Amino acid sequence: MGGPGLAESPPMLRRVTLLLCLVPGAALAQTTTPGATTAAVASAATAPLPPAGLANRSNCADSTALSTWNIGTTITPVVANGDRWRLAVFSGSCDAANVPSAGGAATVFQDVVTNGSNTQFVTNLIPVATMASRSGVIDCAAANDVTIAICVYYIPGTGSTTAAQLASQGSFVFQLAKPPRPVITRVTPGDSQLAVSLVPGTTTSTETANTSISFSATCTPASGSGSSSTSGLSGAGTVTCGGLTNSVPYTVTALAFSRANNSSAVSDPAGPDGSTTPLPFLNFWQVYKDQGGVEQGGCSTGGVGALAPALALLGLLAVRRRRS
């Protein structure tokens, strides 16, 4: 027996069926969810490069700085038709309903013709400064961070934007804020080194970065002779200048860096004085001998040599008692 006719169908089913009849192809229309796009500075005149998703002041103004975009999408292009991806940046969010036309808007700066059916691909060598200027970043020395939208549109082979779709999107941050100059709270001498204790400075209207701060310190011999040293980045609050010359006083300065590697102004200097002068380290055995100990050290098996460390400790204590 055949099923019920349209007139005998439930009201909701009849309305849906009539709608599909009135709108040809509606039942076959494709809907896609935009994928994810990420960007990273790949090369720049000033090192080190910032973490993925960030550009710093130097990158923003560097005409040679280049980025890569890693693009994932749910749309599979038709290679034979010459389908393309249109890359754009916006100061707000990606506009799915208003696809920018090539050359017609300042936001558009690259079309990429598909060369495969993969829905995950990487575009190389996109100018970072272009990303900044075309998304409205006017002042690369501003005190605030600027987040922009990075958008990828799918353009069918016909080149018509009326059939285009938002294929992938993400965000990118121009971290323009720099940290205040750090404060050196203490310098501790060691053997051929100085340990520099640091704290972040107080933020100002032009120095607003205060999270994820790291430090470096530079130790320069005051006399002009002796080894100088610049420590590596450290977020621990203490950095060490190594390879210094003992008994030479040093001038110590420090820098703070934001997460994207914007540099602060130079700190107030510490030294040169006794607290910034590396000194030879006298180990326990040397102190024991200098205070009158006569037992020979060593790691011989058995006999007095095996007890040397313990005897040294007892001897050192005895010497101190006699001198007290």
- The answer to whether residue 292 scores a pLDDT higher than 80 is no
Handedness of CA 201, 203, 205, 211 (dihedral sign): positive
Q: Of the candidates 141, 174, 207, which is a domain's last residue?
A: 174
- The answer to whether residue 284 scores a pLDDT higher than 60 is no
Q: Are 37 and 169 part of one and the same domain?
A: yes
Q: Are 193 and 106 part of one and the same domain?
A: no
Q: Are 88 and 192 part of one and the same domain?
A: no
Q: Which two tokens stand for residue 61?
A: 């103004």
Q: Are 206 and 109 part of one and the same domain?
A: no
Mean pLDDT of 252-268: 92
Give the best-scoring range by mean pLDDT among 18-32, 82-96, 154-168, 179-193.
Answer: 179-193
Give the predicted TM-score (pTM) of the model. 0.69
Condensed to tens digits (0 to 9), the pLDDT of residues 148-177 reads 999 999 888 876 777 788 999 999 999 999
**Higher-confidence residue: 109 or 124?**
109
Which one, of 164, 169, 167, 171, lies nearest residue 74 by Cα? 167
Give the distance from CA 284 to its chain's centroid. 43
State residue 226's pLDDT score: 67
Condensed to tens digits (0 to 9), the pLDDT of residues 42-53 reads 888 888 889 999
Confidence tier at 282 by pLDDT (50, 70, 90): low
Which one, of 135, 122, 211, 214, lies nearest residue 173 by Cα? 135
226 lies in some domain: yes
Q: Are 270 and 232 part of one and the same domain?
A: yes
Q: Of the candidates 152, 174, 196, which is a domain's last residue?
A: 174
**Higher-confidence residue: 200 or 30?**
200
Q: Are 45 and 72 part of one and the same domain?
A: yes
- The answer to whether residue 285 scores a pLDDT higher than 70 is no
Q: Are 163 and 228 part of one and the same domain?
A: no
Q: How many domains does the chain have?
A: 3
Mean pLDDT of 168-194: 92
- The answer to whether residue 318 scores a pLDDT higher than 50 is no
Q: Are 211 and 296 part of one and the same domain?
A: no
Give the best-scoring range by mean pLDDT among 3-12, 114-123, 162-171, 205-214.
Answer: 162-171
297 lies in some domain: yes
323 lies in some domain: no
112 lies in some domain: yes
Q: To the nearest whole percent, how much of the chain has pLDDT over 70?
A: 69
Range of the domain at 99: 31-174
Q: Are 153 and 39 part of one and the same domain?
A: yes
Q: Are 168 and 259 part of one and the same domain?
A: no
- The answer to whether residue 141 scores a pLDDT higher than 50 is yes
Confidence tier at 77 by pLDDT (50, 70, 90): confident
Structure-token match 């804020």, residue found: 177
State residue 106's pLDDT score: 72
Q: Are 122 and 198 part of one and the same domain?
A: no
293 lies in some domain: yes
Mean pLDDT of the chain: 76
8 lies in some domain: no
d(Cα 158, Cα 82) in Å, to the nearest integer? 8
25 lies in some domain: no
3-class DSSP assignment, residue 184 = strand
